[in-house]
Structure 1
């Protein structure tokens, strides 16, 4: 009887595969909420920029409108006073720049430092 070498994944290779995939799923669950919050922030910036007469709000009015949008979208961990900055656009309007970072502990002393920069132009009045 001739011995045939079997092919396929061994128990050890299957275990290593499960560990690697499990690690990346774990990391995804840890950092996923930060990206969902950033998505809400991008939506809030776009919503405020589309409001009628937004060019007449001024910086304090824009901050207040954005704060209201954040409370509706349940965005937490960011501040419209600390993280929202303004730049002048070439056409005379303002550009809202929301710049912040999130430090997410992963495992032990390993953490993910994710930096976000979201920009949206506001039309001049």
Structure 2
């Protein structure tokens, strides 16, 4: 007489492959999108450093742009174009906005678009 087989436990090879595929997909996304946010952190820290500069409220627009350009050069930020930076200045109010998009290809014709908009302001309505 044959003994009945015990219930099978664990993953089959196909289910293991599916789980590894899903895990691999998310690792792939993190490796593609993670550097975009790491680069954005450099932009945000440059803006915060500019805001903490004691001369910031009295700087002219070209001085603000030059200061940001110097900070971007030090941080290896080369994806910000001059037209992405908008400086608004009136009396004691200064506002600096940086708005840019990053498009990163994932595979074939599939890409990811990340849109960033950061700003700092001081004086007048902005306060420090």
For the aligned residues, what is the CA RMSD? 1.9
Q: Is 1:86 the equivalent of 2:81?
A: no
Runs of 5+ in structure 2 lacking a partner? none
> TM-score w.r.t. structure 1 length?
0.88
Q: Which residue of 2 aligns with 1:47?
A: 49
Q: Which has the larger radius of gyration?
A: 2
- Structure 1 gaps of 5+ residues are none
- Find the aligned partners of 1:86 and 1:10 in 2 and give their Cα distance: 60
Hey, what does 2:122 align to over in structure 1?
A: 122
Q: Under a length normalisation based on structure 2, what TM-score does the superposition of the two structures give?
A: 0.86
Corresponding residue for 1:95? 95
Name the structure 2 match of 1:63.
65
Q: State the alpha-carbon separation in 2 of the partners of residues 87 and 110 from structure 1.
A: 37
Count of matched residue positions in the alignment of Structure 1 and Structure 2: 122
Runs of 4+ in 1 over 3 A off after TM superposition: 86-89
